[in-house]
Amino acid sequence: MIVHELELDLEAFEGPFDLLLTLVLKEEMPLADVDVAGVVLAFVEELAEKEELDLEACGEFLVLVSSLLELKARALLAGEDIDLEELDPEEAAEELARRLAEYRRFKEASQWLAERLAQEGDRYFRLGPAPLAPRLEPVLASQEPELLASALRALAVAPPEVSLVHMALRFPPVSVFLERFRALLGKRRRFDFDQEVEGLTIAEQAVAFLALLELRKQNEVALAQAAPFAPIRVSKAGQETPAVRERGPASTLRSA
């Protein structure tokens, strides 16, 4: 679809769109008499008959009609206080001619690019060297045998062993806390486990708790706790107070 060949049937003009543009440029037809809305309707009807959207024709038509519409608006509002530049008929014609010429240049450039793309589209550029290019042989610098021998000797030396002493976890033996708890029960009837391990490290407290469970497993002690996370009361087996017996197994610790 060629926009310039669009047939128009307006009140003030009848003929192709190209002739209307020529008359406007030559000032043989005033811009005020151009029915821009009629031009748009004629183009839309032509598109509807084609049953196919021509993007190139639509772009060309939008450029031409927008130029006509802007120039017509400036001509109609020239006597009012507006922000647009005031153009007389000669300047309006020159502006329209300049825009049409610029549009033609861009259209010719796009056509040239399309032709180049069609011609060069089946060509591909190599990213690597040409297959017949001469191969470059690597050139090594002069080597000294003494330096090579010293480097090999350095590689043959076994590396020093890495010390892991600082990573070792040292725990006190369980027997230490077994004897300690037995000695306490020999002097007292009962004691609080939390008070006895206060100030010890977490590892030492864990070992002390294992010793306590071992005594409970051997039925040497009885353990009681008033509530979850409450202090653990340790007493000799068979010496629980009546209050502890009434609470029953729900408040008495059992070995794992």
pLDDT of 11 higher than 50: yes
Q: What is the pLDDT of residue 249?
A: 45
| Reported pTM | 0.32
Q: pLDDT tens digits, residue range 205-254?
A: 899 999 999 999 999 999 998 888 888 999 988 765 554 444 444 444 44
Can you give the pLDDT at residue 168? 67
The C-alpha atoms of residue 256 and residue 253 are separated, in whole angstroms, by 9
Q: Percentage of residues in the chain with pLDDT exceeding 90?
A: 10
Q: Which of 232, 230, 228, 226 is nearest to 181 (CA)?
A: 232
Task: State how far the Cα of 72 lies from the Cα of 209, in Å rounded to an integer.
Answer: 98
- In this prediction, residues 45-70 reach a mean pLDDT of 77
3-state class of 211 per DSSP? helix
Of 202, 196, 198, nearest in space to 180 by CA:
196
Domain boundaries in the chain? Answer: 3-119, 169-251
At residue 131, the pLDDT reads 67
State the maximum Cα–Cα separation within the chain, in Å, rounded to a whole number.
129
The CATH homologous superfamily to which domain 169-251 belongs is: Structural maintenance of chromosome 1. Chain E (1.10.10.580)
The answer to whether 12 touches 34, Cβ cutoff 8 Å, is: yes
